[in-house]
A and B are shown apart, each in its own frame.
Chain A
């Protein structure tokens, strides 16, 4: 078997996929859920329910506010208890809808039968895109970019390859891996729907070599689905980054400041493809997702089907509570996830995992001087010079930062991972990137 990969940079963190063999279990519905209005990149959705309203599972509670925005649906049935600011993963407060759960009554339009539908020819491309928009689907790998925008290919551009991102290069996380094994058929039909929506004949499913069972299963399945090919990939972080996956699969590099569609690629996550299948074929909006709850000293780590808005404390309880040696709780994976400040934060559309790190792994090493070894430059998958960007950001030299393409940084953390002096390179680069983005936006106005 031939394994492909991208060319520049990359690192090899230990993959620690503890939960790879644990089947997805539905998590009990909590007593209350808190559903934030800003679960996607772009404008926060506009709340359309009021305090005291009765809602059903799958009912629209917040409407997309602009082109780059997404609908938000209730994940439970019950009464709206509160509408107000609630702390999210960043520790800042954002508008959210809190719902008191009463029973589990679904909208009648949702098809709950387990039968797998294959009638993709019944839907026109516009129908698929509209249904994806109505269902509030966003990129479920963690970037949470509204999928409708990705599927709307701009005039004059042509999609030449649909790529399903099933790389899951973050250590520990296995949500997509389990989805592939347990919902392979749905994934295939979902992929066909994406191909139909963007009018493209070829689709590739990129899977890293540490998931041989998924590669084998989907390769066998793909025989029944013309145009879909499984592409096995070498193990390298950050292969799950959109731009790097495109290069690994097609050999084309996305130029600086351009979008995947500029090289003819449309990339969607494996979980997103299944969500698209459910939205189109079963009328089911995105209100639940698979979350990996794991960690080195967690008692019963596993993969759970979780309603959006469930507090992560409920997830931690489901795996046997917080281990005694807990040092840090991360929403997402260890490389790009965010440490949380409270366990009350809700699961959002982009929460792929909850990682409980023991004290021994939770801390950064002591910061020492830069020894100019250049490991960060070797590691950077975007071909940037992280040490230089960090130094420029520290001096607030935003002009030079822009000249050195700081805005190309994907914040993957390879530089910090490879730094022998434990320098907080990414902290500075991220600050520099944010500041430069602000300057660029101000200039456009």
Chain B
């Protein structure tokens, strides 16, 4: 009996040693030469595999960076990550504009009344493929959260009360996954500004003014007041819808005051104290006074960001 145990242990050990030798030889002979920098670069990346860079995942992006660094941007990691990657590769990093997701719809449950109710599968993609949606506005947010489901960073959540998604500015990396997931193209990537300040037309309704307004009290009616007001020529009105070019916009917020429906939104600005008092005093239709007053908040706002930088 003892012999059987000894023999089997010996035979198995022999097989194990033989296998180890074979494996060692094969591993040596067929070794894939890989640039060690790929691992180093991959370590710098966020590792969320969000696909914002256009590659299948972070490792694919790392491989691409090692091959040719020029022009590659990790949208999720931003300039900080790219700087680390550049250090690893020993090249100069180019600064790219950081982006942030913006939801261009204010059709909350209060201001965009329901005209019908949907009982089908609960995803935005299917609603958009089926019909115009539960409200009179066939352009706006559906609110079933396809964006929330694709976000790898937990940065966008549908607010149950308003029925609209909200972006968490701190968490949003600008990878653009939600932009791709949104069937109505409501979400847009815009340039990230100081303190997450944003001025944008929060509406995508291309219907004529009266139709749009009937469907949603916050809709852009394409009146063009904002485009006339903008001193920088950043606003264009096309198909009854205004759009602010973020490359040209200086965030003076004159358009926000002009918008009759509140479709243009400003976010993360300090409250405008001078403006609240000003209209009360200013009941005279004198145009000169108005210009003076509306200039005041602009001056303050232009100064404030520079103060913050200091």
Contact = CB atoms under 8 A, between A and B. Distances in A.
Contacts, number: 43
Contacts of A338: 131
B121 interface: yes
A424 B118 CA distance: 12
A417 B126 CA distance: 19
Given A92-B138, A364-B119, A341 B126 contact: no
Contact of A342 (B115, B121, B126, B208): B115
Nearest to A434: B129
Interface string B124-155: 01100111110000100000000000000000
A427 interface: yes
Interface string A87-115: 10011110000000000000000000000
A431 interface: yes
Contacts of B131: 90-92, 338, 341
A91 B133 contact: yes
A195 to B, nearest CB: 39
Given A92-B138, A93-B138, A424-B120, A430 B115 contact: no
A424 B138 contact: no
A339 interface: yes
Interface in A51-92: 84-85, 87, 90-92
B219 to A, nearest CB: 14
Interface string B81-120: 0000000000000000000000000000000000110011
Nearest to A342: B115
Nearest to B133: A91
A85 B206 CA distance: 11
B225 to A, nearest CB: 23
Contacts of B125: 431
B216 to A, nearest CB: 14
Contacts of B129: 430-431, 434
Contact of B132 (A341, A428, A430): A341
A90 B126 contact: no
A363 B126 CA distance: 18
A364 B117 CA distance: 11
A341 B114 CA distance: 10
Nearest to A91: B132
Contacts of B120: 364, 424, 427
A87 B130 contact: no
A312 to B, nearest CB: 15
Interface in B150-189: none
B139 to A, nearest CB: 9
14 contacts: A84-B208, A87-B132, A91-B132, A93-B138, A341-B115, A341-B116, A341-B131, A341-B132, A424-B121, A427-B121, A427-B126, A431-B121, A431-B125, A431-B126
Given A363-B119, A424-B121, 9 more contacts: A92-B131, A341-B131, A364-B120, A427-B126, A427-B130, A428-B121, A428-B126, A430-B126, A430-B130
